[in-house]
């Protein structure tokens, strides 16, 4: 199929990915948009196939949910690149590729004669993507998602008001994700350039750099003012303590209150809601909330200049706390948002995927596993392309596409 | 007239691409910064009537050095480095006509307004396509442009709360710690840049433009896939006893795996013992009676007594220096790292020193910003200019690109059109 007839954005591009936890997301992002991504696994399969959790809790090469998630829409071949035949097969595969993605230990491919430096002349159109600890010319210390986020900055900002509690690594292996989130745009830029120049190139991605470039105000306060942010529970780390934004609702669920009400429209909306709920008598901040009608907007200037503004502002926060004590989180979320106030319910990932809004948008997608004769729900498209939609098929079995390997033994 | 196209020695991957850019804050502006760094001409459009303050980062601290005011916001400068800036008061028909002309010579239009704003301005996708059939249009907001919550508002922490990212970051028996910054504004920007580039690549190959509706919360909802599948396939909800504990490792299982206090105030070390082989190396570094006990040699046993093991590690780590200890563990082959403070990683970590660059802002002078953590051998990124001042490139864009003369531009400025 030529790109012209295609319903996928990346049709016609072949990507070779050397199976690794570190670069699996980069391959998935390209595969789900139509690139032919061939993941090259070692004998016995990628190590992530052995990782929990397993489907139905039954360990097995084809059962790892980690594998299922990160390898949708890909093809699998098994090649032992440590052998001469395997190396030759790998080279033949590369000769057909547009993009390579690898996150091998530094020096491994070079020792096998399979690194960019050795292949670049033959494959001048090839786009070679290396994801490493802090660049191809750096060292390669033993590292995991946890250690990368610790030394890369994110961990410093995440945790609790109580500074005796350890800082927290955000969940979900985001260090590897973030490196892939830089790798993919870089690959796309290289493909754009290749369309006109017919030349490939080397892309060198630093995982440590990617974490460092993804810490928002911790970095910005230091770069501009040499001030250090401090961790706070459920909200931005800051150079000065700020007010809570996370609160527990009547059903025990946590809730993010977002920006507090700041203008007369928002104060009025809150007041009317209290009236509709018949809670005027119980709500001690109701009367002062009425004074919110006087304020177009309460900002830093008004809070400084006008003591009453401070009281009204505080009443807005008090009323949200009052409502949280009486309403389940979902009702508070809908009620405030429908009245124009930004806020969010704290869902677990599996609750988010069942929320009616995301269901109506088609975010959860069914992926068919013919070998199990079952359909399972996966998280769907991160973006909705109108003409070239994101699509996912199940992750490949080990060596399922071995036919793609040229027989080089003869 | 100064031509504000950056002088670069090397070619850049996106040379020749022009973006008509309405983005702001980090979730949007962070995306077009990446495009600008790779050589696209990003023309940021701001509203002169409110001095561009729709972007709340304009004119708020941290300030660039001693400067103050609308041009001195350090976050704004960081997220908008490398772009051009123009003003258009889109309440005026003459401004709308100028925007139509700009769209007609642009490859993509980008925005992260609330859903529906572009339609109300008269520049929704249908109108944009009438101006330029093959335009790429990428909209980015929290909940997306369709569905029951499409009018709901969002920013980073809300996207993180609703998507599950907040819930999954924390310690047991504690409230969610969440992310102590707008992780999803950064990451939403990465997905937005990716979306623009995929759509542009498709257009370069087929001539076909399109609209990409990016909901930041959906992008976030893809970032916990394994845990989500554990629920949809195995029926095991994440909301259960002892969970989440994001300093532990669930997939793959590892123990010990966590962050421990070391000598000094607020000093921490992260250690990850990946497998039994790592454990043997770790036990030698620890070299205490408990670490030599056979009961810890297999992962299954370490995992079943994780609380007890973590307490032993805590007591051992407490009096040690986090840098020296991390180095000993790394030398032995065990993943470890001190929790670096902002100043340490920015000013003292040579491994990432290339990332911090100095750009020149035309009003506040040299300032430090984040670069990109990638190197491309043939078409590398480059940023040399700080964020544009309000309307700084009006004469280049309206004059050189759209053909107005100086007098016409001055009149439009006087009449509040630009």
Which chain A residues contact residue B257 at CB under 8 A?
A: 144, 146
Per-residue pLDDT for A353 more than 60? yes
Of B185, B250, B374, the CB nearest to A203: B374
Average pLDDT score over residue span B176-197: 98
Q: What is the mean pLDDT of chain B?
A: 96
Q: A96-109: b or e for each residue (b if 16 or more CB lie within 10 Å)?
A: ebbbbbbbbebeeb
Residues 6+ apart with CB under 8 A from B48: B87, B88, B89, B390, B391, B416, B418
Q: Looking at the domain assignment, is residue B85 inside a domain? A: yes
The CATH architecture of the domain made up of A3-214+364-404 is: 3-Layer(aba) Sandwich (3.40)
Are B334 and B371 within one domain? Answer: no
Instruction: Say what the pLDDT of residue A77 is.
Output: 98
CB-based contact B146:B63 (threshold 8 Å): no
Per-residue pLDDT for A408 more than 70? no
Task: Kindly indicate the confidence band of residue A300, based on its pLDDT and cuts at 50, 70 and 90.
Answer: confident
B51-82 tens-digit pLDDT: 999 999 999 999 998 999 999 999 999 999 99
Distance CA A244, CA A256 (A): 9
Q: From residue A35, how far is each of A216, A400, B210 by CA, in Å? A: 32, 17, 18
Are B168 and B265 within one domain? Answer: no
Strands (E), B53-203: 84-87, 108-111, 136-141
The domain total for chain B is: 2
Q: Looking at the domain assignment, is residue B228 inside a domain? A: no
Identify the domain containing residue B256 by its residue range: 249-347
CATH classification at residue B279? 3.30.1540.10
Q: Looking at the domain assignment, is residue B68 inside a domain? A: yes
**Residue ranges of A 334-373 with Cβ closer than 8 A to chain B:** 337, 340-353, 355-358, 360-361, 363-364
* pLDDT > 70 in chain B, percent: 98
CB-based contact A29:B190 (threshold 8 Å): no
Interface with chain B: mutation pick from A15, A26, A130, A146, highest number of B CBs within 10 Å:
A146
Distance CA B161, CA A45 (A): 36
Instruction: Say what the pLDDT of residue B3 is.
Output: 46
CB count in 10 Å sphere of residue B132? 19
A18-42 tens-digit pLDDT: 999 999 999 999 999 999 999 999 9
Are B337 and B385 within one domain? Answer: no
Are B217 and B294 within one domain? Answer: no
Q: Do A189 and B371 touch (CB under 8 A)?
A: no
Instruction: Say what the pLDDT of residue B149 is.
Output: 98
CB-based contact B115:B91 (threshold 8 Å): no
B235-288 tens-digit pLDDT: 999 999 888 999 999 999 999 999 999 999 999 999 999 999 999 999 999 999
Q: Looking at the domain assignment, is residue B126 inside a domain? A: yes
CATH classification at residue B34? 3.40.50.10540
Which chain A residues contact residue B222 at CB under 8 A?
A: 379-380, 382
DSSP B179-245: -SS-HHHHHHHHHHHHHHHHHHHHHHHH---EEEEEEHHHHHHTTTHHHHHHHHHH---S-STT---
Per-residue pLDDT for B225 more than 50? yes
Instruction: Say what the pLDDT of residue A233 is.
Output: 98
A193-208 tens-digit pLDDT: 999 999 999 999 999 9
Calculate how close chain A gets to B234, using CA atoms only, in Å.
6
Instruction: Say what the pLDDT of residue B2 is.
Output: 45
Nearest CA in chain A to B199: A9
Are B203 and B277 within one domain? Answer: no
Q: Looking at the domain assignment, is residue B80 inside a domain? A: yes
Q: Do B13 and A350 touch (CB under 8 A)?
A: no
Rg, chain A, Cα only: 26
Angle at A148 between CA A145 and CA A153, to 5 degrees: 125
Distance CA B318, CA B202 (A): 55
Per-residue pLDDT for A64 more than 70? yes
CB-based contact A122:A152 (threshold 8 Å): no
Interface with chain B: mutation pick from A150, A340, A371, highest number of B CBs within 10 Å:
A150
Which chain A residues contact residue B246 at CB under 8 A?
A: 168-171
Q: Do A381 and B218 touch (CB under 8 A)?
A: yes
Domain boundary among B292, B324, B347: B347
Per-residue pLDDT for B372 more than 50? yes
Q: From residue A304, how far is each of A137, A290, A291 by CA, in Å? A: 53, 21, 17
Are B404 and B306 within one domain? Answer: no
Q: What are the tokens at B314?
A: 């805590």
Complex prediction ipTM:
0.97
Q: What are the tokens at B130?
A: 């009438």
Distance CA B219, CA B193 (A): 12
Per-residue pLDDT for A410 more than 50? no
Which chain A residues contact residue B224 at CB under 8 A?
A: 171-172, 349, 379
Of B204, B258, B266, the CB nearest to A163: B266
Are B147 and B281 within one domain? Answer: no
Map tokens 């001195």 to a residue: B72
Are B169 and B25 within one domain? Answer: yes
B93-140 tens-digit pLDDT: 999 999 999 999 999 999 999 999 999 999 999 999 999 999 999 999
Per-residue pLDDT for A333 more than 50? yes
CB-based contact B76:B59 (threshold 8 Å): yes
CB-based contact A394:A368 (threshold 8 Å): yes
Q: What is the mean pLDDT of chain A?
A: 95
Query: B222 burial class (0-12, 13-18, 19+ CB within 10 angstroms)?
Result: buried
Calculate how close chain B gets to A299, using CA atoms only, in Å.
12
Q: What are the tokens at B249?
A: 């490792």
Map tokens 């996106």 to a residue: B14
Distance CA A67, CA A21 (A): 9
Which H/E stretch holds residue B270? strand B268-272
Q: Do A65 and B229 touch (CB under 8 A)?
A: yes
Distance CA A121, CA A116 (A): 9
Distance CA B46, CA B59 (A): 14
Task: Kindly indicate the confidence band of residue A4, based on its pLDDT and cuts at 50, 70 and 90.
Answer: low
Which chain B residues contact residue A233 at CB under 8 A?
A: 175, 177-178
Q: Looking at the domain assignment, is residue B226 inside a domain? A: no
Of A3, A143, A172, the CB nearest to B223: A172
Distance CA A153, CA B224 (A): 21
Please, what is the angle between helix A174-197 and helix B183-206, to 10°? 20
Are B259 and B343 within one domain? Answer: yes
Domain boundary among B310, B325, B347: B347
Q: Do A186 and B64 touch (CB under 8 A)?
A: no
Three-state DSSP class for residue A158: coil
- Please provide residue B131's backbone torsions phi and psi, each rounded to the nearest 5 degrees: -75, -45
Distance CA A171, CA A156 (A): 14
Q: What are the tokens at A252?
A: 């025990």
Q: Looking at the domain assignment, is residue B206 inside a domain? A: yes
CB-based contact B14:B383 (threshold 8 Å): no
- Closest C-alpha among A115, A113, A116, A136 to residue A124: A116
Q: What are the tokens at B44?
A: 């940021």
Instruction: Say what the pLDDT of residue A259 is.
Output: 85
Q: Do B14 and A192 touch (CB under 8 A)?
A: yes
Q: Looking at the domain assignment, is residue B359 inside a domain? A: yes
Are B216 and B102 within one domain? Answer: yes
Per-residue pLDDT for B301 more than 90? yes
- Closest C-alpha among A285, A257, A259 to residue A271: A285
Are B337 and B358 within one domain? Answer: no
**Residue ranges of A 161-200 with Cβ closer than 8 A to chain B:** 163, 165-172, 174, 177-179, 181-186, 188-193, 195, 197, 199
- Closest C-alpha among A147, A25, A163 to residue B194: A25
Q: What are the tokens at A91?
A: 């080279």
Are B295 and B365 within one domain? Answer: no
Q: Do A348 and B238 touch (CB under 8 A)?
A: yes
Calculate how close chain B gets to A369, using CA atoms only, in Å.
12
* pLDDT > 90 in chain A, percent: 91
A77-100 tens-digit pLDDT: 999 999 999 999 999 999 999 999
**Residue ranges of A 220-279 with Cβ closer than 8 A to chain B:** 220-229, 231-237, 245-246, 248, 254-256, 258-259
Three-state DSSP class for residue A357: helix
Which H/E stretch holds residue B160? helix B156-163
């Amino acid at each position: 199929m030529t790109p012209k007839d295609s319903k996928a954005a990346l049709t016609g591009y072949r990507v070779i990915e050397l199976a690794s936890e570190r670069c699996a997301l980069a391959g998935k992002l390209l595969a789900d948009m139509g690139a032919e991504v061939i993941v090259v696994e070692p004998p016995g399969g990628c190590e992530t196939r052995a990782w929990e959790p397993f489907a139905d809790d039954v360990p097995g090469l084809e059962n790892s949910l980690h594998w299922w998630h990160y390898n949708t829409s890909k093809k699998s071949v098994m090649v032992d690149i440590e052998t001469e035949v395997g190396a030759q097969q790998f080279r033949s595969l590369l000769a057909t590729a547009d993009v390579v993605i690898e996150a091998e230990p530094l020096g491994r491919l070079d020792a096998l004669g399979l690194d960019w430096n050795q292949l670049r002349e033959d494959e001048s159109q090839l786009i070679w993507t290396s994801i490493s600890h802090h660049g191809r010319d750096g060292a390669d210390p033993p590292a995991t998602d946890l250690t990368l986020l610790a030394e890369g900055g994110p961990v410093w900002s995440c945790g609790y008001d109580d500074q005796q509690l350890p800082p927290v690594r955000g969940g979900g292996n985001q260090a590897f994700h973030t490196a892939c989130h830089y790798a993919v745009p870089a690959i796309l830029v290289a493909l754009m350039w290749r369309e006109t120049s017919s030349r490939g190139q080397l892309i060198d991605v630093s995982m440590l750099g990617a974490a460092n470039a993804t810490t928002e105000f911790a970095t910005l306060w230091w770069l501009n003012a040499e001030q250090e942010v401090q961790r706070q529970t459920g909200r931005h780390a800051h150079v000065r303590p700020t007010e809570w934004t996370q609160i527990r609702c009547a059903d025990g669920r946590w809730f993010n209150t977002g920006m507090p009400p700041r203008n007369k429209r928002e104060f009025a909306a809150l007041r009317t809601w209290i009236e509709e709920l018949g809670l005027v008598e119980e709500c001690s901040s109701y009367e002062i909330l009425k004074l919110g009608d006087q304020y177009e907007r309460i900002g830093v200037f008004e809070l400084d200049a006008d003591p009453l503004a401070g009281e009204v502002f505080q009443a807005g926060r008090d009323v949200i706390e009052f409502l949280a004590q009486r309403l389940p989180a979902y009702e508070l979320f809908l009620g405030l948002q429908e009245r124009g106030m930004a806020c969010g319910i704290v869902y677990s990932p599996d609750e988010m995927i069942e929320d009616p809004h995301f269901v109506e948008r088609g975010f959860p997608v069914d992926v068919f596993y013919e070998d199990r004769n079952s359909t399972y729900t996966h998280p769907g498209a991160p973006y909705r392309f109108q003409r070239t939609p994101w699509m996912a098929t199940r992750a490949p079995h080990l060596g399922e596409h071995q036919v793609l390997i040229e027989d080089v033994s003869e | 007239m100064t031509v504000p196209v950056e002088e670069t020695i090397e070619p850049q991957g996106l040379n020749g691409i022009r973006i008509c850019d309405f983005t702001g804050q980090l979730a949007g502006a962070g995306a077009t910064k990446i495009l600008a760094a790779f050589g696209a001409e990003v023309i940021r459009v701001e509203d002169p009537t409110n001095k561009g303050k729709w972007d709340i980062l304009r004119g708020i601290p941290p300030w660039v050095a001693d400067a103050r005011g609308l041009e001195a916001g350090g976050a704004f400068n960081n997220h908008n480095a490398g772009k051009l800036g123009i003003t258009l008061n889109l309440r005026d028909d003459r401004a709308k006509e100028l925007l139509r002309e700009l769209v007609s010579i642009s490859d993509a239009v980008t925005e992260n307004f609330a859903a529906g704003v572009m339609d109300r301005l008269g520049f929704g996708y249908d109108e944009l396509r009438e101006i330029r059939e093959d335009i790429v249009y990428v909209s980015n907001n929290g909940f997306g442009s369709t569905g029951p919550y499409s009018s709901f508002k969002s920013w980073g922490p809300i996207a993180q709360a609703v998507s599950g990212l907040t819930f999954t970051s924390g310690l047991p028996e504690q409230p969610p710690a969440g992310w102590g910054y707008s992780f999803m504004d950064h990451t939403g920007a990465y997905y937005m840049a990716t979306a623009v580039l995929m759509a542009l690549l498709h257009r370069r190959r087929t001539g076909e433009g399109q609209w990409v509706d990016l909901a930041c919360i959906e992008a976030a909802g893809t970032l916990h896939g394994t845990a989500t599948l554990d629920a949809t396939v195995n029926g095991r909800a994440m909301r259960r006893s002892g969970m989440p504990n994001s300093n532990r490792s669930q997939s793959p299982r590892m123990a010990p795996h966590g962050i421990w206090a070391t000598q000094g105030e607020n000093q921490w070390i992260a250690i990850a013992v990946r497998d039994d082989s790592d454990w043997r190396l770790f036990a030698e570094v620890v070299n205490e009676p408990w670490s030599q006990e056979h009961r810890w040699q297999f992962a299954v046993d370490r995992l079943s007594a994780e609380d007890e093991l973590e307490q032993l590690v805590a007591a051992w780590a407490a009096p040690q220096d986090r840098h020296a200890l991390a180095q000993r563990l790394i030398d032995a082959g065990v993943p470890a790292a001190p929790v670096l403070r902002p100043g340490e990683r920015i000013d003292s970590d040579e491994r990432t020193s290339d990332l911090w660059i100095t750009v020149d802002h035309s009003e506040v002078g040299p300032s430090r910003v984040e670069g990109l953590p990638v190197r491309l051998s043939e078409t590398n990124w480059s940023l040399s200019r700080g964020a544009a001042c309000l309307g700084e490139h009006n004469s280049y864009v309206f004059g050189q690109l759209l053909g107005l003369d100086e007098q016409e531009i001055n009149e439009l400025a006087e009449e509040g059109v630009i």
